[in-house]
Structure 1
């Protein structure tokens, strides 16, 4: 391990060493120089509906395609226009994580598309011809795949890149950030942001605000202490870092009421891109679960700022306000997923809300300036860990602020030697897979998992200092074991759904059950919602009824959200696909056992 860390330290400057990162260009038709991505363009991304300029489409996180060429009336004639195979699926022989899955959202600008594979290779693709997809260049970060795959807690993933001036800002699994010239694919600079030697990895697309690129690490399951860090894009240097768990002497550290400094390995990772309100000058990020996941007895107290919404000043990283969804979480209900900003009438008053489809089974709304709680409404069929949410505080009704160890509803909390059965299941009502907000219908559309989990908490002991480094323990530090079959109570059958939610009230409007899990959605002004699943089905749904209008099977699992853009007046819907089908998918459709791990980007049009 020492030799690998030394090798990495030698790559922290400009990418001058040949093995550090390689840009490969391909012969293509010459084109005029690309426009710079200015701060003004990023602020006004909705004014460019032909482009998809942010990870979440705009700073507000709407993931909405304001294009009307593809409609509910004509989507049945949608066809595959182009596809392209990425190179990142080469197995890392001998590693714990040997292959990738694609979870990214493409960025589209003026007919060019920027995508990443799971290891962090960055590709520029030319769609201008309307006949095919052509590679322009590829930037390969040349990471040590065996090592990085071993360090990664939860898969070889990369959710995308960002644009700034004439650069594409990207990350790699091994903790590096890159500024890559948009025209040539050459690396302008790279820096090490996360430290994989202590189990930190990077999987989230950076959020660019002004001249800062902001990102946080994955790794709570290996016992990291989470943080959010800004990089000055002009210099490639760190601008600020804010830890998501307070240190000794800082406000909030008292919520870690153990005698052995569990806060040092307490989790609260950040692995999904945040949102930003330029008027309030606040950005909104969700934090991950406490560590260990299930054994709350190891870490008594509310465990701030795990499972929380943080509103921060992007210039300084200072936390302006916060809200914790599930204190002393024993269910793995991390809340890293998107926090969507919506201006809407609530009870006859226009409100600027930050909303969140939470893993714990509720759809929340808050005033995004003050943090005032507005509503929380259940959206999965079954929630058993609490009987609801307090309408004044926003806290679970089963929450007791006077105890360090939350009991929640009887029988729901896993304890050491005691089975806990809780709904939603451990993957949550919704995990990281993004929802979408239709600005035309004023509706939030979200996928959901309908089910329950049963676990026993497991005391895995205290790790002196930081957990990472030696990686003698190759399994997750999750503090859980499966409930013995002899003691496990019957669980509700797991199902999957797509839901329409009303951001005025938080209420569920429509629920339509699905064959399997949908991995993120995009709504369009044409009245269509798109999403894909691990069976390889890419589908279009009627935004008013959620009935299925069209399906195309791509022949490989989909675990990424779609997006839409236009080139020369022609609307496309794009989806990345790659990975493997799980046991649940093989039970539904046996042919998925023959899916070969692959990395494709598919483009559909009329």
Structure 2
């Protein structure tokens, strides 16, 4: 009888526990109405953003987290504003290191005197993201001895930050048919707080995982990827809310930033970056048009927060159609702008537009950085954004007014493009060239080049015009950093040649929901060089202090420390350390794939570590891989050849790491060798665009005449910024994709 009652009690307890799971709580709360604030009266946002009960059978569902080892670290609390705002001394709690996105650490155990002694402490092969369509751009988060990161294939991992051994892994299972990605499949990181890991997925879902197990706690549909909405940025956790924006400016979306309750994923507020008719800013668009419903202005990066002012800051992306201004007369707010909102409600506070009526894709993709500095005897609250234009926009973050002068100056005009008569020109130095000179043409461009060329803000129409900076920048997405000791701002820049020309077609006939919508032709000038810069700018004068010039684009991100160091990654696989004061290069280590993600630093048991994800990048055209490298002064391995293969941690789940360079297919379903279109989508689309119509880094294949043998050779060997595929595709796959590429020229 006693055993019977004990069994009955156990059953009752089990029923009580299973009826109170987070999943059921999330499902019940989904029936409540959202508290929507901001300019969102035009749409039923509840249809856009829905919290769903975790369902392992649903589309895009988790295949089940892999638990590799016991998790003994403590759960992340509801971090206070002070904890998140201070510079990272031990843990690395946010994507930018702190709420200011400063990417500065006050740790100095590693410094200019001993950085040459850095060696590899551990290496972990994450086991996904090998195909060329994936890019490794993530900044890891570190808390209480555990690192949280994500691959370009949207696999999320928790690692022991001392050893690199995998604790758990979650496969988000992106839809295989996902095709509304402008710039390669990627994720720039995760967020942490309230015992959860928060992730914005490429298919426009926002999810929360249990920090200790990797189990799905809640899932929210932010928007529809089929309509062009994607999420590439890392979310931000702050004050019990998770903030995320949406990408997709090339697809005619309506940009927005939104806040979600960290406990259950319900939307708290959503602020559209395009004004409704009658709202402030709507006067900068044509009257009675629908441009503001599909005008772009996405949010590409993780915001920053000033808890004292209770403002959240970010910049907005390009207009839609991106390169055609003929039917959107006006400045087109709030595209191409730095914006400040109330962090609690999403209420508009101020904005500053960097490029009026943009027709060049010169939108600000670099994360904003907050800083405090004394200017003219007064402590100023600043915010700086590094533009694709090649200028820093240095503003007062209390009101958006320039801290260093920015002047409206006349620029060249084109009546058909409805160009703005003036553009804001910052006082100070540009960190990349902004003019194509006669000397440039003679030195860099092919002899057969006969096109027109100009400088920043030169308009174009039916004749191709070659300009600088290009859509790659200036500064692109790779995060910048600010060091309060040197009072220098460190930024990566790109310097290459792009040509623009108008379609000559009615743009109204071209818009189709979920299809690329840029309005004109753009492409890099073939056989021309691409260069990069690493620059230290004086935050008080906006002048260059030192600059390093590379013979390739700079496409990774920056970390700076109290040890007077600047760390960054190079396309050739090196992580490099510079002296933060004078720019001297004082250490490097070459890894097995392109170093195209920002480095971080953290400390455990008094030991400082430097860590970076080296997995390559589609738009940078770099070698792909899947590894996180972590260094310390007590590390054992001084070169890649020194690392024993059995000392590399690997993912123990079925999508194993590549055994060699030819086995880089990752976890995706096997593609038939004769399916040229799918092979093209997985390897070529980001650079060359859908159906070869032009992407972000490659020529328009519909206008390129090449015989089949020439295409096969090009795919095999690569050239310029295009990498060779002979090590990643089979002969049959190369034959098939070459035949598909050849067929595109008939269009």
Deviation at 1:138, TM superposition (A): 0.9
**1:114 counterpart residue number:** 148
Find the aligned partners of 1:463 and 1:23 in 2 and give their Cα distance.
45
| More strand, by proportion | 1
Find the aligned partners of 1:274 and 1:10 in 2 and give their Cα distance.
20
2:100 equivalent to 1:49: no
Deviation at 1:422, TM superposition (A): 3.0
**2:80 counterpart residue number:** 39
**1:529 counterpart residue number:** 566
Q: TM-score, normalised by structure 2?
A: 0.69
1:373 alignment partner, SS class? coil
Q: 2:331 aligns with which of 280, 298, 302?
A: 302
1:492-531 to 2 correspondence within 5 Å? 494-518=530-554, 519-531=556-568
Q: 1:142 aligns with which of 167, 173, 177?
A: 173
**2:161 counterpart residue number:** 127
**1:432 counterpart residue number:** 477
Find the aligned partners of 1:160 and 1:432 in 2 and give their Cα distance.
13
Q: Please say which of residues 573-582 and 197-206 is displaced more in the overlay.
A: 573-582
1:147 alignment partner, SS class? coil
Deviation at 1:175, TM superposition (A): 0.9
2:215 equivalent to 1:170: no
**Which blocks of at least 5 consecutive residues in structure 1 are unaligned?**
1-7, 92-97, 377-388, 586-591
**1:383 counterpart residue number:** none
2:340 alignment partner, SS class? strand
Structure 1 420/260 Cα, relative in aligned 2: closer, same or farther at 3 Å?
Answer: farther
Structure 1 88/9 Cα, relative in aligned 2: closer, same or farther at 3 Å?
Answer: farther
In the comparison of the two structures, how many residue pairs are matched?
A: 551
Contact 1:203 1:271 in 2 (8 A): yes
Structure 1 24/327 Cα, relative in aligned 2: closer, same or farther at 3 Å?
Answer: same
- 1:428-470 alpha-carbon deviations (Å, 9 max, x no partner): 211111111112212111111234433112245345797334x
Find the aligned partners of 1:245 and 1:221 in 2 and give their Cα distance.
15
Find the aligned partners of 2:510 and 2:139 in 1 and give their Cα distance.
36
1:76 alignment partner, SS class? helix
Contact 1:295 1:414 in 2 (8 A): no
| More helix, by proportion | 2
2:434 equivalent to 1:420: no
Find the aligned partners of 1:88 and 1:484 in 2 and give their Cα distance.
30
**Which blocks of at least 5 consecutive residues in structure 2 are unaligned?**
1-46, 424-453, 634-747
2:549 equivalent to 1:549: no
Find the aligned partners of 2:317 and 2:377 in 1 and give their Cα distance.
34
Deviation at 1:32, TM superposition (A): 4.6
Find the aligned partners of 1:74 and 1:161 in 2 and give their Cα distance.
31
Q: 2:629 aligns with which of 589, 597, 602?
A: 602
Q: Please say which of residues 106-115 and 441-450 is displaced more in the overlay.
A: 441-450
Contact 2:250 2:322 in 1 (8 A): yes
**2:601 counterpart residue number:** 564
Q: Please say which of residues 548-557 and 52-61 is displaced more in the overlay.
A: 548-557
Q: TM-score, normalised by structure 1?
A: 0.85
Q: Please say which of residues 176-185 and 259-268 is displaced more in the overlay.
A: 259-268
Find the aligned partners of 1:468 and 1:483 in 2 and give their Cα distance.
24
Deviation at 1:90, TM superposition (A): 5.8
Find the aligned partners of 1:536 and 1:453 in 2 and give their Cα distance.
26
Structure 1 61/44 Cα, relative in aligned 2: closer, same or farther at 3 Å?
Answer: closer
2:219 equivalent to 1:190: yes
RMSD, matched Cα: 2.8
Contact 1:213 1:231 in 2 (8 A): yes
Contact 1:240 1:316 in 2 (8 A): yes
**1:73 counterpart residue number:** 113
Deviation at 1:536, TM superposition (A): 1.0
Which is greater in Rg? 2
Find the aligned partners of 1:554 and 1:467 in 2 and give their Cα distance.
43
Deviation at 1:581, TM superposition (A): 6.7
